[in-house]
Amino acid sequence: MKQLIAADAYSENVIPVRADARPTPNRTAGSIYAVFSTATLGDEEGVFQGIVTDRDISYSPHRIFADLLNPHPLAPITDDTPLTQVEDLLSGSEDALAVVDKTNTFAGVVTHTSVLKALLKRERELLMTTQELNQQIAEDRQHLALWSNRLSELHGASRTLLSVLSHTQIEDDILQSGIEALCKLLQARYGAVGLINEAGQLTHFVHTGMTDEQVKRMGHAPEGRGLLGAVIHENTAIRLDDLTTDPRSEGFPDHHPVMKSLLAVPISSLGRVYGRIYLCDKIDDSPFDNEDELLAMSFATSLCLILDNAREVQEIKRGQQHLYQLAHFDTLTGLPNRELAYDRIHQALANSRRKRTKLAILFADLDNFKHINDSLGHSAGDELLKAVALRLTQCIRESDTVARLGGDEFLILLPDIELVENIITVAKKIKDTLQPIFKINNMEIFVTISIGISVYPDDSMNIEELLRDADTAMYHAKNNGRNNFQFFTTQMNEVVQKQLRLTSLLSQALERNQFLLHYQPQVDVISGKMLGVEALIRWQSNELGPISPAEFIPAAESSGLIIAIGDWVLMSACTQGKQWLDEGLHELRMAVNMSSVQFQQPHFPARLKQILSTTGFPATLLELEITENIMMSDKNAIIAILDELKALNVKISIDDFGTGYSSLSYLKRLPIDQVKIDQSFVRDIASDPNDAAIITAIIAMTYGLNLDVIAEGVETQAQLDFLISKQCYKAQGYYFSKPVASEQIAALWHKGFKPYPSHFDSGDYHE
């Protein structure tokens, strides 16, 4: 209670008077007079002068109040002065004290009697309050004892649930024990717990108070369409004294025991509803009250701890699995990444040392993947990598590992190898598995792969050297024409070092003017007339001497230098062709080999048009030779480029036909003019029936498609006779002439060729 102050003890016997008034003879004994100035009482001018007691008047009853004002030793006190302090002030000779408010305006008077009355009143109030509190305490003790017993029972039920906090699944027997304890605690006849999944489907339903026969008659658990659905959907408790008053009670099964009262609470946490608890009909037929609801909600909260814990444990496990996946597996293909692959190699290497078995590491790299990626787009490239990864996993044992190291590089680990032949079997299987065409985004893509192999302990004893050796062997496979596999040998290191040196010198060859063109005649074998020439690049390196195109062209393509080199070849060939025209070599065609990298460069047709314009060489005399493998890229894009080139009136020839990706369905769509039979078929044409059959088919096919055909690599009269018999009347090869310098072409033009070997150099150089 608040502290008593002066304002709580004003005397009721205070009479306001004017200072110039006189006391009346019939005054009331014990009165106290508040004296104000002579201004009208109540006006602002009336100023409080002091107080006069009945005792003061008795000394001089005929004087005016102004004369009776004797200065009291104590000044007026404020109305918020504590009553204990007022008592101390009145304990002397003073029997009354004036009281003023905070504005120093007269507020009242306190006396011994008024203070005593205030204290007695406070004492009575305290006594009554004490009695009320004692009564409340007695009631609370009784209620607390009841609640203590009920909470003890609830604790027992909750403890049953909390005992499974370390588990991640809720078992029906745990829920069964819990709902039975809750029904006993709240004296409910029936009770049930229902849990739902995120889709709202009932996953757990346990009940008590119903016989097996009653459950069988119900046929199914409550579907949550009525009251129980509202508990879940609205995440709220429902308490009804009479179910019949709520139409939502229709959601219970038809044969559910007859119920009158209902208490249903949600099992929810942070807005997530896991299910509901419902209780029906108390044994004493009393309705469920607020305390029952609080206890049921407390039980539901305990159950939520279990469910939240289960969810958190699962989320932690999923998070750990996700982090492990990110750290150890490639996000694109799902294969083990470099880190996991190296870890498995370490384990396999330790195992091989113990068992004294062999172990193989294969480095695999897709051929020309950069060209595919650049031409089809990174999205298609990614889809291709995923498809390749899937096929690679089909080539290995369960104990083997396929990993993606990055880009188009893959690693295959083969532990516990008994025979080297087993490694060869896997390498061949990889090649064969990748042979069928991939269909990516409605496009057909042909893929080959180069594989390098190192073996423990044959090549090295530690992982770093094994990885390096496999990488070296893979580059050796690239340099050996791609689409093959190579085992590591010490000589490969020398090859790789030479390749690096070659690339370095190649980058300087153009500016040092070390390239030149030789030209090999293309002949009409009936008339002996030179129809044209094929421009063939040669490199005379100051440091390495003459270098074969078969050696430096792949290096130029892999390093990107082929674009600048190809541009130089076109410019030089067209310049030379124009010079021959000016010298009278009319209608002499110029054939130029095109790298797929250069061919698919943006704006290549525009660049070619510029070269033709600069050199003055007629487009109708220029023939661009492209390989079949260019068709591995986007067919529609290739056809678009060819259409642009054809619009310039240049001729298009398919070079090395039959050695690469042959698809008649696309060949007939390509705007080409000629097919060039590869020399590998011509070489054994007179002795190998298969080669003879292939050439026969190619010639028939080209004529069927209204295309010209020319054979390369013709070296013997027998080869020439066969070609003529199959109506192939264009040829080139050593039978007519090896590639020669530009100065010799004019003489060969004028001399012409006859169908017998009488004028070509029999040297052993082959283009």
Contact 42, 76 (CB under 8 A): no
73 alpha-carbon distance from chain centroid: 90
757 pLDDT higher than 50? no
Contact 540, 546 (CB under 8 A): yes
Question: Rounded to whole angstroms, what are the CA distances from 339 to 401, 405, 456?
Answer: 13, 9, 20
User: Region 19-29: what's the mean pLDDT?
Assistant: 84
**Spatial distance between the Cα atoms of 490 and 476, rounded to a whole number of angstroms:** 11
Percent of the chain with pLDDT strictly greater than 90: 31
Question: Rounded to whole angstroms, what are the CA distances from 207 to 188, 273, 615?
Answer: 12, 19, 95
Nearest to 457 by CA among 425, 488, 485, 427: 488
**Spatial distance between the Cα atoms of 645 and 639, rounded to a whole number of angstroms:** 10
- What ranges do the domains of the chain cover? 6-119, 163-316, 338-488, 505-751
Neighbour count for residue 63 (Cβ, 10 Å): 15
690 pLDDT higher than 80? yes
Calculate Rg over the CA atoms of the chain.
54
Q: What is the pLDDT of residue 246?
A: 80
The pLDDT confidence band at residue 72, using thresholds 50, 70 and 90, is: low
Instruction: For the domain made up of 338-488, give the CATH fold.
Output: Alpha-Beta Plaits (3.30.70)
Contacts of 166 (CB under 8 A, 6+ apart): none
Question: Rounded to whole angstroms, what are the CA distances from 621 to 260, 311, 590, 642?
Answer: 102, 76, 6, 16
Superfamily, domain 163-316: GAF domain (3.30.450.40)
User: Region 199-210: what's the mean pLDDT?
Assistant: 83
Q: What angle do CA 284, 287, 291 make, to 5 degrees?
A: 105
**Spatial distance between the Cα atoms of 728 and 725, rounded to a whole number of angstroms:** 8
Instruction: Summarize pLDDT for 596-646 with one digit per residue, the tens.
Output: 888 888 889 999 999 999 999 999 999 999 987 776 666 778 888 999 999
Question: Rounded to whole angstroms, what are the CA distances from 74 to 10, 32, 36, 84, 396?
Answer: 17, 16, 18, 16, 112
Lowest-confidence segment of 241-245, 311-315, 662-666 by average pLDDT? 662-666
Q: What angle do CA 47, 50, 53 make, to 5 degrees?
A: 140
Question: SS3 string of 451-503?
Answer: EEEEEECCCCCCHHHHHHHHHHHHHHHHHCCCCCEEECCHHHHHHHHHHHHHH
Instruction: Give me 33's structure tokens.
Output: 């007079």
Instruction: Give me 283's structure tokens.
Output: 């044994």
Percent of the chain with pLDDT strictly greater than 70: 87
Q: If you write DSSP's letter for every residue of 387-420 in order, what string do you get?
A: HHHHHHHTTS-TT-EEEEEETTEEEEEEEEE--H
Winning range, highest mean pLDDT, from 92-96, 250-254, 451-455: 451-455
Neighbour count for residue 696 (Cβ, 10 Å): 15
Q: Which helix (H) or strand (E) segment is 540 a member of?
A: strand 530-541
Instruction: Summarize pLDDT for 272-328 with one digit per residue, the tens.
Output: 888 889 899 998 889 998 888 888 888 888 777 777 776 777 777 777 777 777 778
Three-state DSSP class for residue 34: strand
Which residue do the tokens 């946490």 mark? 269
E-strand ranges in 628-700 read: 651-657, 674-677
Q: What are the φ/ψ torsions at residue 683 (nearest 5 degrees)?
A: -55, -45
Nearest to 358 by CA among 422, 300, 264, 437: 422
pTM: 0.47
585 pLDDT higher than 90? yes
The single-letter code of the amino acid at 717 is: Q
**Spatial distance between the Cα atoms of 219 and 256, rounded to a whole number of angstroms:** 9
Contact 723, 711 (CB under 8 A): yes
Instruction: Give me 130's structure tokens.
Output: 């004490």
Superfamily, domain 6-119: CBS-domain (3.10.580.10)
Instruction: Give me 694's structure tokens.
Output: 């292939």
Q: What is the pLDDT of residue 765?
A: 33
705 pLDDT higher than 70? yes
Instruction: Summarize pLDDT for 710-733 with one digit per residue, the tens.
Output: 999 999 999 999 999 999 999 999
Q: Is the dihedral of CA 612, 615, 619, 624 positive or negative?
A: negative
Instruction: For the domain made up of 505-751, give the CATH fold.
Output: TIM Barrel (3.20.20)
User: Region 440-464: what's the mean pLDDT?
Assistant: 89
ω before 671 within 30° of 0 (cis)? no
Q: What is the pLDDT of residue 384?
A: 93
Q: What is the pLDDT of residue 157?
A: 55
**Spatial distance between the Cα atoms of 500 and 24, rounded to a whole number of angstroms:** 134
Q: Which helix (H) or strand (E) segment is 642 a member of?
A: helix 635-647
